[in-house]
Structure 1
């Protein structure tokens, strides 16, 4: 798909907490081992926000400050913030206004968007429309999650997977490069297989909710694994087909960092060599909405102007999708 006015990623930023939780520490907390975690997930360590006075808004603000510094952008130039997160500071008020205040975005409006692990792609599409409309010149998209606050560290099936972090991108208009197409989907039949059931309007917090540990993430790993591979593969193929692209035309694939076996399977299904797939799951684990922007942050120096990138994600909901873009302005 072609447009006269594209929304281009012109800067990136990131932040991860300093505290490291490695597999050997987890061996002392639950019945698991470094070898098992590494072989089944590809994760060696993850970052944890341990300061009880800090939250999602603080990590998001730090990622934005990094972005602004890297791009020599004045915070007052930012028009809007789209904040992708499944772990807001609180249910009410929304977290985006708090982030704007902490990051000094005095002229920006902002809102939260919860698409779970697909949230960054959903937010990227939403922000791109604001740029393409001509109504906004500079929009920041942040993917951020403090997963450690909703993880049960007595549940070995989930506690080995998740970490905390934030990644941010700046979108501006371009006539040459930018976000060219999205395939975004949902399947609500999958909502039961990966969720935090407590704390919403369906199951408000009460003694029974906490007693049943419904404030924590629960997942059916086998079902999620199968659907993630299928959904990411299918949306990638759909976006390639409708843009008349062969997979060999793609320079880099940036998948959601949920599990190295999922990443390997999607790459194999697409016939993409792993040399073209960006992976940092070994350092951060699954940071939910932050995985893709953290990859962009980590590997930004590898991307050349005009490189074709394919982003793909899958998360709770089920939510899933892919994005095709050309790098640079």
Structure 2
């Protein structure tokens, strides 16, 4: 059988790090207010010349170096983003060009904070069916460009960054399915009736402008805890594992309270949840690969560990993927 194996990870952050104290000098807020409600202490903000595409390219290069491969070994790029460089072409194509790639498929996926899980699921399907052999899957965002900096309830929550995975189709024996590395199971969902709870109030086909992010935070929190707990259970049941088998959960880094509540609902200690929201804030589609890369490089995630990835975002969209490192 064919399994999609994670062979390398990479990350990229803008040069400018903005602390809560610095932000409080420009926005009507305080460090204490942000920490108590979100767990965030800082975030990275893209400067002029730093774009979703440039961050994605840097993360992809780091991932290829980690995997020991080059662009000549890649035959698929999928980029998850809600903040593309342009309406079209897909930012993935500009990343392909920047890396020196030619000819193979490169496209964007738009599912907001769940985008990386959607991109991962898409790449997994394409690799397992033989449409590609080795893929770069990237989550990259410059959410600072769509924030209303006069709305302190939203602008303090988000940051910019990118993370990337190198995925490779690998033959494994069916008897090794439980212990072999790679993506084991993925579940994705969407419920469009809640699209007005987290959205951007603009677009090419409606206002002709980019628009700004709008969110009803309490409602998003309530749905997030329920939906994430359900999809994690769904993936575990499909894969034949129990919550106690998980070594690490790498969640979307939206809010420390959501991370705590989801862990409690699953009966998992928070010590087994990778938390980076304090350092990066909410980087939307970039948050899961950013967190995974950090936990792998600092030695928390080790080869053979069973890791659950999960995310929920505007749409609503949500999903989870279980993989063995």
Give the TM-score band, short-chain normalised.
over 0.9
Q: Is the 8 A contact 2:67 2:166 kept in 1?
A: no
Partner residue of 1:315 out of 313, 316, 320: 313
In the aligned structure 2, how far is the partner of 1:61 from the partner of 1:170?
13
- How far apart, CA to CA, are the structure 2 residues paired with 1:149 and 1:102? 22
When the two chains are superposed, the root-mean-square deviation of aligned CA atoms in Å is 1.2
Alignment partner of 1:18 out of 8, 15, 19: 15
Q: 1:137 aligns with which of 119, 123, 133?
A: 133
Shift in Å, 1:318 = 0.2
Q: Partner of 1:178 in structure 2?
A: 182
Distance in 2 of aligned mates of 1:291 and 1:104: 26
Q: How far is the alpha carbon of 1:94 from its aligned partner?
A: 1.5
Which of 4, 10, 14 is equivalent to 1:7? Answer: 4
How far is 1:307 from its partner?
Answer: 1.2
Instruction: Show the counterpart of 2:33.
Output: 36
Deviations 1:155-212 (A, max 9, x none): 101110000000000001232221111111000011101111212313323xxxxxxx
User: In the alignment, which of 277, 284, 288 is matched to residue 288 of structure 1?
Assistant: 284
Q: Which residue of 2 aligns with 1:210?
A: none
TM-score w.r.t. length of structure 1? 0.93
Unaligned runs of 5+ in 2: 173-179
Which residue of structure 2 lines up, in the alignment, with residue 187 of structure 1? 191
SS of 1:6's partner is strand
What is the CA–CA distance in structure 1 between the aligned matches of 2:57 and 2:101, rounded to whole Å? 10
TM-score, normalisation: structure 2: 0.94
Q: Which runs of 5+ in 1 are unaligned?
A: 206-213
Q: Distance in 2 between matches of 1:196 and 1:67?
A: 31
SS in 2 for 1:169: strand
Partner of 1:164 in structure 2?
160
Corresponding residue for 2:265?
269
Residue 197 in 1 paired to residue 197 in 2? no
- Of 219, 225, 232, 1:223 maps to 219
Which position in structure 1 is the counterpart of 2:274? 278
CA offset at residue 50 of structure 1? 1.1
Residues 65-121 of structure 1 deviation map (CA, whole Å, 9 limit, x = unaligned): 111222221111110100000000011222111011112223532001001000000
1:240 is aligned to 236
Equivalent in the alignment of 1:303: 301
Distance 1:29 1:190 in 2: 32
Residue number in structure 2 paired with 1:208: none
Work out whether 1:258 is the aligned partner of 2:254: yes
Secondary structure of the 1:258 match is coil
| Of 121-130 and 232-241, the range deviating more from structure 2 | 232-241
Q: Name the CA distance, whole Å, in 2 between partners of 1:242 and 1:199.
A: 38
Map of 2:175 onto structure 1:
none
Contact 1:77–1:107 (8 Å) recurs in 2: no
Aligned residue pairs, count: 315
Task: Find the aligned partners of 2:307 and 2:64 in 1 and give their Cα distance.
Answer: 23
